[in-house]
Amino acid sequence: LCHRLLRLHHNDAGLVQGFQIIDMQDQVACIKRLLKSLNVDLEIIIPKELQRFINNAKEQGLRPNDIEDVNGFNRQYIELYEAYDSQCQREGVVDFGELLLRSVELLQRHNELRHHYQNRFQHILIDEFQDTNALQYKWLDLLTGEQSSVFAVGDDDQSIYAFRGADVSNMARFEKDFH
């Protein structure tokens, strides 16, 4: 759904019309190219660790300038995340986290567009709700209008994606927010 939304509204989302989606392997290759172009030692900054940092930040809805740099600990990773974003923008590519993050940002910035989709999707079903992360929850919140009917299916005992940012507490928030 995020992919379709961004294809339809690529200008408003700040994307080129023919943007390409990169998978996890392509993302690592993109990060390696970036690190090499910046003469960063791949043994000091490990591409998969930087990938994990970037993906975790995106799953929390954080752009580089939103990340707190505690005692300079994250400074280099934040700067590399920013360089990665710039490279992806130049190359016209988006990773999976970017699909969702851009969609959330698009709906936050454009009230008319958000209202259009809130009216279009009056009934929403979410399966495996226990495996949603903070950004997915925010996206759901933006898509639901006052007249929306939302049904979520999940089992907190079956949550297996905490390592990917899944937050089982979304189930309790859902009960409170969508009563």
The string of pLDDT tens digits covering residues 143-175 is 998 888 888 887 777 766 655 666 777 777 778
pTM of the entire predicted model: 0.88
Q: What is the pLDDT of residue 35?
A: 97
The string of pLDDT tens digits covering residues 102-121 is 999 999 999 999 999 999 99
Q: How many CA atoms lie within 13 A of 142 on its CB side?
A: 22
Give the integer Cα–Cα distance in Å for 130 and 150. 15
pLDDT greater at residue 48 or residue 174: 48
pLDDT greater at residue 137 or residue 167: 137
Q: What is the pLDDT of residue 33?
A: 97
74 DSSP 8-state letter: S
Give the integer Cα–Cα distance in Å for 126 and 71. 40
Report residue 124: phi and psi, to 5°.
-125, 130
Q: What is the pLDDT of residue 160?
A: 60
What is the three-class DSSP state of 2? helix
Q: What is the pLDDT of residue 166?
A: 66
Average pLDDT of the chain, as a whole number: 90
- Cα 46 off chain centre by: 22
Q: What is the pLDDT of residue 148?
A: 83
What is the pLDDT averaged over residues 68-94?
Answer: 93
Is the predicted pLDDT of residue 54 greater than 90, yes or no? yes
Is the predicted pLDDT of residue 40 greater than 90, yes or no? yes
Per-residue confidence band for 178, with pLDDT thresholds at 50, 70 and 90: confident
Is the predicted pLDDT of residue 94 greater than 80, yes or no? yes
pLDDT greater at residue 169 or residue 79: 79
What is the pLDDT averaged over residues 67-71?
Answer: 84
What is the three-class DSSP state of 45? coil
Q: What is the pLDDT of residue 16?
A: 96
